[in-house]
Amino acid sequence: MAGLAADKDSGRVVVFGLGGTIAMTASDAGGVVPALSADELVAAVPGLAETGIAVEVEDFRRVPGASLSFDDIAALSSAVRGRLAGGVDGVVVTQGTDTIEETAYLLDLGHGAVQPVVVTGAMRNPTLAGADGPANLLAAVQVAASRQARGLGVLVVFGDEIHAASRVSKAHTTNPATFRSANGGPLGYVVEGEPRIVNRPASRTTVAVPKVDLIAGGHDDTTIRATFARAGGYGNAG
């Protein structure tokens, strides 16, 4: 295990809040709704300030995980790329667990930067005893700031386990230890606040994201030819 433990990293991490169980509070009508902002989530994490990691927040969406659309994830991917290009050390995404594996995998396919992107959430909302959101968010921020996680692409951190986006899946509807990587196991663990990578994959698969323009019906072939000259494809909105 020598050399596998990360140093206690400081740095800059951006947290994108998308809603989900981790952000839920009681509603006037009964039940719970994803109402907590990303600021409120970060403020509720014990021990985060003591890590020395500078955390910025983006209150991106406040919806249940099952309500996220492809448009939401495409917009998230673009926003994440922008923040990584600005020099942050890593990104954390908080969202509902129903679609964590899908979000993580879609982000991973288009993620070519060296900085880690970490997706996390919670199985127990903040109104319940044993809410797991704060611990998961703390571990996710620690992984996102860690030099050990650089070059690993998009990760899912849950219950102090570090999973590759290409391997992970949700295995249980209520158990807090819900995420599994059946093909190869976790990449590592967060041990007493230190990310440890013990299973580094040999390679990753990414795809180029082409530029696709949308053209309303009725244009002549001059517009279409000009579009093809600068884009990877086009869609007809007519």
At 114, phi and psi to the nearest 5?
Answer: -80, -25
Active site residue 206: no
In the block, residue with structure tokens 């517009």: 223
From the centroid of its chain, how far is CA 212? 24
Are the C-beta atoms of residues 158 and 121 closer than 8 Å to each other?
yes
At residue 13, the 3 state secondary structure works out as strand
CA distances from 72 to 63, 68, 226, 231 (A): 10, 6, 29, 22
Asked if 96 contacts 132 with a C-beta cutoff of 8 angstroms, the reply is no
CB 168 within 8 A of CB 97: no
Across the strands, what pairs with 196? 5, 189
Query: Could you say which of 21, 51, 99, 120 is catalytic?
Result: 21
CA distance 4 to 23: 33
Which residues are identified as catalytic? Answer: 21
